[in-house]
Structure 1
Amino acid sequence: MARSLDIRSDLPTPLPMGTAAQLRLLDEGAHLFLTAGYAETTMREIAAAAGMKAGSIYHHFTSKEEMLELILIQGIDVMIQSFHQTQRETQESDALSRLRAHVRAHLGSLFEHGPYTAAHVTTFPYAPTEVRKRIVPVRDGYETLWTELLESLSDSGAITLPSSVSMTRLILMGAMNQTIEWFDPSGNQSVDQLAEAIARQLWDGVTPR
C-alpha cells in the first residue's frame, strides 16, 4: 500500500561510508520503499528519482537487495543510537520521564531522521530471506534494550507489568510503529504530543494501583 507520509529529513544521520551519489541513491531508495513499497519499486525508478540514467545505478550498487540491506541497517542504527543517547540523558530522571523520553526517541527516529527508520519498519517483513537473516541479530539487540528498560522500571517498583516483559515490549513497539500508517507529523498534533499519549497509555496500564 502506498503511503503519503511527509517524513522530515532535516536531522539525518548519514551513512558512515559511500560517495555522494551512493548516499543520494540510498536516500531516494528509502523514500520509495517507504511510500511505494519495496516490491513495487524498481532500480530504474530509484535512479530517476536521484537524477541518474537507469544504467548508472549499477555503477554504485549491484542490486536492489544490496540497497535494501544498507537501508535496513541504517534504519535500525538510527534507533539504537537514539536509544543510547536518551539513556545517557535520562539516567537521573524519574520512571515516567524515562519511559516518555524513550518513546519520544523511537518516534523521532521514525519521523524526524529521514525515511530510513520508517522504511526499515515497513519493509523488513518483505525483505529477501538472506537479508532478513543478517539484520535479525541487530533488531534483536534493539529489542533487548527495550526489554532491559522495562525490566529496570519493573524491578524498581515503578511499574507492575500485567504480562511478560516481552509481551509488554511487543505491545509498546507495535503501538509506536503503527503510527507510520496514520500519523502526520505536519498535522495538528506534534511528535511530542504523540509520544506523551503513547507513554501515558502504557503508564496508566502498568502503574501500581
Structure 2
Amino acid sequence: MAGSAERNSAQVIRDEAAKLFFERGYDATTLRQVASAAGLKVGSLYNHIGSKEDLLQQIMGSVIDELLERVQACVAEVESKDPVDRLQAALAGHLTFHAERAQQVFIGNAELRSLPQEARENVVKKRAEYESFLAALVDEAGKAKLAEVIDSKIHVYSFVAQATHVAGWYHPGGRLSLNEIVEIYTRLALRELNVADADERAVGKALAK
C-alpha cells in the first residue's frame, strides 16, 4: 500500500506541475506553488524529486514513455497483418494521445531548452526512439507496396507536426468530435503516403484508446 501511495503522490506532483508549467511557464513556477497545488509541504516534494529541473525531466520523459506505450498497444491490438492497418492504428493512438495530453505536449515542445544538457539529450533520445518506431511502420507499408514512401523519417516528422497542431487547438465539445478529428487526420496521413484506398480505410474506424 505504501508503494502505491508513493506512486500516486509522484503522479499528482507531475500532473499539478504540468498544469502550472503550462499556465505560468516553467521559469515563473516555484516548487512552493507545485507543493501547494499537490496538497503537500515543500519538503515532501523532495521525496519524489531532486530539483525543479528533475521534475521537468520527469514530466517530459514520462510523457514520451506513455506515448510510446499507448501507440505500441494500439498496434498490438490489430489482428490484421496488413501493415497499413497497423500504421493507421498507430496514427490514431498518436493523435488521440496528443489531443488528450495537450498540456504535456506543449511543455515538451516549449521547455526542452530548460533542461540541463544530459537530461535534454535523454529526452531527445526517447523522442528519436519513438519516431523510429513510427518510421518502421511506414517502411513496412512501403515494402508491401501499399504506400508510396518518399522518406519515412520525413513522413514521421509530418505526422508529429500534425498531432502537435491538434494538441494546440483541440477542445472537447467543439465542432468536431475527437473521433472525427482522428479520422480526418488519419485520412490526410494515408493520402500523403498515396495509399490507394485511403478514404475507405479511414472512414468509420473506431477511436483508439
TM range (shorter): 0.7 to 0.9
| Seq. identity, % | 25
Tell me the CA shift for residue 108 of structure 1: 2.5
Tell me the CA shift for residue 80 of structure 1: 1.0
Code of the residue aligned with 2:191 in structure 1: it is D
Code of the residue aligned with 1:106 in structure 2: it is H
Code of the residue aligned with 2:164 in structure 1: it is N
CA deviations over 1:47-102 (Å, ceiling 9, x no partner) = 12112344543454231111111112210111111121112112416455433321
TM-score (structure 2 length as normaliser)? 0.79
- Among 171, 178, 203, which residue is 1:184 paired with? 171
Preserved contact between residue 78 and residue 117 of structure 1 (Cα < 8 Å):
no
- Among 97, 100, 122, which residue is 2:88 paired with? 100
Gaps in structure 2 of 5+ consecutive residues: 197-209
Tell me the CA shift for residue 203 of structure 1: 1.6
- Among 128, 143, 152, which residue is 2:131 paired with? 143
Q: 1:185 to 1:102 in 2, by over 3 A?
A: farther
Name the stretch that deviates more: 123-132 or 168-177: 123-132
Q: Give the alignment of 1:15-164 within 5 angstroms.
A: 18-92=6-80, 94=82, 96-112=84-100, 116=104, 119-161=107-149, 163-164=150-151
Q: 1:118 to 1:94 in 2, by over 3 A?
A: farther
Answer 1 or 2: which has greater helix percent: 2
- Among 146, 154, 161, which residue is 1:174 paired with? 161
Tell me the CA shift for residue 179 of structure 1: 1.6
Q: 1:25 to 1:86 in 2, by over 3 A?
A: same
Code of the residue aligned with 1:46 in structure 2: it is V
Tell me the CA shift for residue 38 of structure 1: 2.1
Tell me the CA shift for residue 145 of structure 1: 0.3
Q: Aligned-residue CA RMSD in angstroms?
A: 2.7
Code of the residue aligned with 2:190 in structure 1: it is W
Preserved contact between residue 76 and residue 117 of structure 1 (Cα < 8 Å):
no
Preserved contact between residue 139 and residue 152 of structure 2 (Cα < 8 Å):
yes
Preserved contact between residue 60 and residue 123 of structure 2 (Cα < 8 Å):
yes
Q: 1:182 to 1:208 in 2, by over 3 A?
A: closer
SS at match of 2:49: coil
- Paired position in structure 1 for 2:194: 207
Preserved contact between residue 43 and residue 64 of structure 1 (Cα < 8 Å):
yes
Code of the residue aligned with 1:24 in structure 2: it is V
CA distance in 2, matches of 1:93, 1:187: 35
Preserved contact between residue 83 and residue 140 of structure 2 (Cα < 8 Å):
no
Preserved contact between residue 107 and residue 195 of structure 1 (Cα < 8 Å):
yes
CA distance in 1, matches of 2:27, 2:135: 32
Gaps in structure 1 of 5+ consecutive residues: 1-15
CA distance in 1, matches of 2:113, 2:137: 25
Higher RCO, 1 vs 2 (CA within 8 Å, ≥6 residues apart): 1
CA deviations over 1:111-140 (Å, ceiling 9, x no partner) = 336954554344335433221112222221
Aligned length: 194
CA distance in 2, matches of 1:74, 1:208: 33
Q: 1:156 to 1:92 in 2, by over 3 A?
A: same
